[in-house]
Amino acid sequence: MSFGDPNPNNPYGQQPGQPPQGQPGYGYPQQSPQGVPPQGQPGYGYPQQPGGPQGQPGYGYPQQSGMPQGQPGYGGMPPFAGWWSRFAAILLDCIVIAVPYGILVGIGAGIGGGAGSAIAMLGILVGIGLGLFKLYKEGTTGQFIGKKALGISLLREADGRPLGFGMAFVRYLAHFVDSVACYIGWLWPAWDPKKQTFADKICSTVVVKVG
């Protein structure tokens, strides 16, 4: 008596525990067609998906620094602005502020009386307002009219960002130190390695080229 099935293709004649011929048994890894990678696994020569595990960059992809370009320690600070460009920017700002102030004060003085005093006072207020606006623009964007025209910007030395209105105002007050010793502080950027005035050193600010 034979215990085998004469028909080798009959699945019921297979020995227990062995899968039918040509078919993978339960729990056996499935075979993929030739040239097609198994599901969930990249085949040899197939491009990897960028990013790898969620939240992690894939191997070989450039890392994002997360730091603004041009900051010290994070790619290098832009070149410092020279003395002449700083002087020209200050001169242009002074003209922008002084012209409306001088015109209104001159008209007020010429008219005289109550009306003349009112016009002169308006000129003074315009001058103060433009000066505060200059500090606001330099503190929030690094530039007022003069610096924008010369392609330079006022930034914090520590991280290369605008210093804010408060520190811009403090820096303006610190210019007293530049003026007290025969204005030597205003000339200091001509030979200083970082092109800083004394006020810049006190407030840790720099003026750099941006255009």
Domain annotation covers residue 2: no
Domain annotation covers residue 21: no
Domain annotation covers residue 6: no
Domain annotation covers residue 44: no
**Residue 87 above 80 pLDDT?**
yes
For residue 102, give its domain range. 83-209
Asked if 185 and 199 touch (Cβ cutoff 8 Å), the reply is yes
Q: Given this model, what pLDDT does residue 30 score?
A: 52
Domain annotation covers residue 183: yes
Domain annotation covers residue 47: no
> Per DSSP, which regions of the chain are E strands?
152-156, 205-209
Q: What is the pLDDT of residues 20-77, one digit of tens each?
A: 455 544 444 455 555 555 554 544 444 454 444 444 444 443 444 333 444 443 446 8
What angle separates helix 164-180 from helix 113-140, to the nearest 10 degrees? 110
Give how many domains the chain has, as a whole number. Answer: 1
Q: What is the pTM of this model?
A: 0.63
Rounded to whole angstroms, how far apart are CA atoms 196 and 174? 13
**Residue 6 above 60 pLDDT?**
no
Q: Tokens 């003209």 identify what position?
A: 95
Domain annotation covers residue 73: no
Rounded to whole angstroms, how far apart are CA atoms 124 and 110? 15
**CA geometry: angle at 51 spanning 47 and 57, to 5°?**
120
Domain annotation covers residue 23: no
Q: Given this model, what pLDDT does residue 2 score?
A: 44
